Amino acid sequence: MVVNYHLNMNIAYYQYLQYLCLLAALFCYKDLKQRSLHLLLPLMVVVCIVETLAHYYLQLGFSNNYGIYNCWVIASVVIYYFIFDKLLCFKGWKRRLYLVSAGVTILFMLLEFFVISWGKYLIHTVIITSIQYMLICCLLVAQLVMDDVQPVRLSSHPYFWFAAGLLIFSAGYAILIGLHPYIRDNNLLLFGKRLYFIIGPMLNVILYSCFIIAIVLCSRYKQISPASS
Amino acid sequence: MLQVQTNITSVIIAVILMVVILAVFVLVLILYFNNKRLASIREKELLIKEYNQALLSAQLEVQEQTMKQISQEIHDNVGQILSLVNLNLKTLTPGDSEKIETTTKLVNKAITDLRALSKSLNPDAILKIGLMQLIKNDLEQLQKTGQFTTSLEIEEEPEIPTGKLVILYRMIQEVLNNIIKHSEATAVKVKIDSDIISLADNGKGFNLSDTSNGLGLMNLQQRAKLINAEVKLSSDIGKGTSVIFSLNKI
């Protein structure tokens, strides 16, 4: 039997932003590296691959796209922890605490992936990591604000936009994913679409727009710094 | 059933929107306060820069004033003494012990005056000599001209930080210079207390609302602001002028 799949080439609007963000990260990789944000590139590569595969999961022969999104969750959690480790520059007991909490979360995630929710979406991991991201983003912004040695204008600092995007995304996403089983089981719809498919893309737009701004600011910082020094 | 689902959907959307809006609000608030903090830091830096510039300019002016004073001192005092010594030596006859004694006294006076001049050449002279002595010296200089009678009353010496001393002294010098140049006064009184320095003359006075005097007054007030002092000026035509420096906030 020959199955002739008709590939639907229409991609979601937020995916354009993800590709744009990937391109920006690719072109500004050197600048990102200078600002310790170079891990945004592998993150965006994972995001773009996962979103594209998840979009065509039926054509690829999967019954659902949870497995694909779970791969994204695992990869993104690890990459985000590395990014935050670079940005926060914790030392001593703070760093040890950070590494322990990251390690515990990763262990929990693997446990959920292999044991608790095999074949299901990693809802608990996503909720826990979203709350962690919110806390860490607040910490990052607080660090920027309280820097008395070199006071910075937050609106022109890439870390602020990175943290702001992730904070807003995580705040919305934690609730949305927390209610995911409920929304799915009760088939809650808005404009004929599942709630998840309406709010999720909006949060994605906010997140990747902020990332693009952060990447652009990284390259601008490089242009400004030699003249100002 | 559909109505219930719609209600639940609305609640979920409202909650998510509220959380997102709250996060945005917090971020905007942080941005706002950070901008305010930056503005205040910049303002502080600007004030420090202005203060340093004013301090430097005051130091230069004091130096200039000192140089003028030295030049005048050499010309009018040491120069005169040495000319007299020269004349004495030319007309000296053997055995004229009185002339030798006078000449020796003159040479000693020249040496003392030169030592005083040498001290005033030191850039830290203001700090070393002290404000009270400097004002006293300036009043003595005025007295020496023969055009003014001066009086100095010190009730309690004010404690002024060394960084602000130069600016305060420069302000006092400026007031004394104005008295010499414009007041047509014959008497100058200076009173010093722990938190006040007042200078008064019996000159022609002026109209405070006259804008031509505004620049000098503004200059004084700007300098006073730099050291947290206050300047009060009072004057009436024909009744002299008085300037009071309040030092209680220094």
Give this complex's ipTM: 0.74
Q: What is the pLDDT of residue B76?
A: 75
> Which residue did the predictor score with more confidence, B204 or B213?
B204
- CA-to-CA distance for A162 and A171, rounded, in angstroms? 14
Residue A227: pLDDT over 70 = no
Do the chains contact at A145 and B8, CB–CB below 8 Å?
A: no
3-state secondary structure labels for all residues of chain A: CCCCCCCCCCCCHHHHHHHHHHHHHHHCHHHHHHCCCCCHHHHHHHHHHHHHHHHCCCCCCCCCCHHHHHHHHHHHHHHHHHHHHHHHCCCCHHHHHHHHHHHHHHHHHHHHHHHHCCCCCCHHHHHHHHHHHHHHHHHHHHHHHCCCCCCCCHHHCHHHHHHHHHHHHHHHHHHHHHCHHHHHHCCCEECCEEHHHHHHHHHHHHHHHHHHHHHHHHHHHHHHHHHHC
Quick check: B54 and A178 in contact, CB under 8 A?
no
Chain A contact present for B38, CB below 8 A: yes
Q: What is the pLDDT of residue A83?
A: 94
Do the chains contact at A171 and B20, CB–CB below 8 Å?
A: yes
- CA-to-CA distance for A81 and A69, rounded, in angstroms? 18
Do the chains contact at B16 and A190, CB–CB below 8 Å?
A: no
With the C-alpha atoms ordered B141, B143, B147, B153, is the resulting torsion angle positive or negative?
A: positive
Nearest to B38 among A153, A195, A203 (CB): A153
Residues of B in contact with A195 (CB under 8 A): 9, 12-13
Q: To the nearest whole percent, how much of chain A has pLDDT over 70?
A: 91
Residues of B in contact with A206 (CB under 8 A): 20
Residues of A in contact with B25 (CB under 8 A): none
Residue A222: pLDDT over 80 = no
Residue B134: pLDDT over 80 = yes
Residue B7: pLDDT over 80 = no
Under the banding of pLDDT at 50, 70 and 90, the label for residue A204 is very high
Do the chains contact at B24 and A168, CB–CB below 8 Å?
A: yes
Chain A: nearest CA to B2, how far in angstroms?
9
Q: What is the pLDDT of residue B121?
A: 61
Do the chains contact at A199 and B37, CB–CB below 8 Å?
A: no
Residue A106: pLDDT over 50 = yes
Least CA distance to A144: which residue of chain B?
A: B34
Q: To the nearest whole percent, how much of chain B has pLDDT over 90?
A: 13
Chain A contact present for B29, CB below 8 A: no
Residue B214: pLDDT over 70 = no
Residue-wise DSSP of B31-61 = HHHHHHHHHHHHHHHHHHHHHHHHHHHHHHH
Q: To the nearest whole percent, how much of chain A has pLDDT over 90?
A: 43
Tell me the pLDDT tens digit for each residue of A64-76.
788 888 888 999 9
Instruction: Read off the DSSP letter of residue A90.
Output: -
Predicted structure pTM score: 0.65
Chain A contact present for B40, CB below 8 A: no
Residues of B in contact with A168 (CB under 8 A): 20, 23-24, 27
Size of interface A-B (CB pairs under 8 A): 60
Tell me the pLDDT tens digit for each residue of A43-56.
999 999 998 888 88
Q: What is the pLDDT of residue A224?
A: 46
Tell me the pLDDT tens digit for each residue of B31-53.
898 888 888 988 998 988 888 88
Six-digit token pair at B198?
């007042």
The average confidence (pLDDT) of chain A is 84
- CA-to-CA distance for B245 and B191, rounded, in angstroms? 10
Among B13, B18, B30, B45, which would you mutate to test the A interface (most chain A Cβ atoms within 10 Å of its Cβ)?
B30
Q: What is the pLDDT of residue A228?
A: 37
Do the chains contact at A172 and B33, CB–CB below 8 Å?
A: no
Nearest to A151 among B22, B33, B41 (CB): B41
Q: What letter represents residue B172's amino acid?
A: I
Under the banding of pLDDT at 50, 70 and 90, the label for residue A223 is very low
Closest CA to A209 of A11, A33, A20, A72: A20
Under the banding of pLDDT at 50, 70 and 90, the label for residue A120 is confident
Under the banding of pLDDT at 50, 70 and 90, the label for residue B208 is confident
Nearest to B19 among A164, A172, A183 (CB): A172
Do the chains contact at A188 and B5, CB–CB below 8 Å?
A: yes
Under the banding of pLDDT at 50, 70 and 90, the label for residue B196 is very high
Q: What is the pLDDT of residue A4?
A: 43
Residue A229: pLDDT over 50 = no
Least CA distance to A187: which residue of chain B?
A: B5
Residues of B in contact with A205 (CB under 8 A): none
Under the banding of pLDDT at 50, 70 and 90, the label for residue A115 is confident
Q: What is the pLDDT of residue A104?
A: 93
Provide mean pLDDT across the span B167-187: 86
Provide mean pLDDT across the span A134-157: 86
Tell me the pLDDT tens digit for each residue of B236-246.
888 899 999 99
Tell me the pLDDT tens digit for each residue of B58-117.
777 777 776 776 777 777 778 888 888 888 888 888 888 888 888 898 899 888 888 877
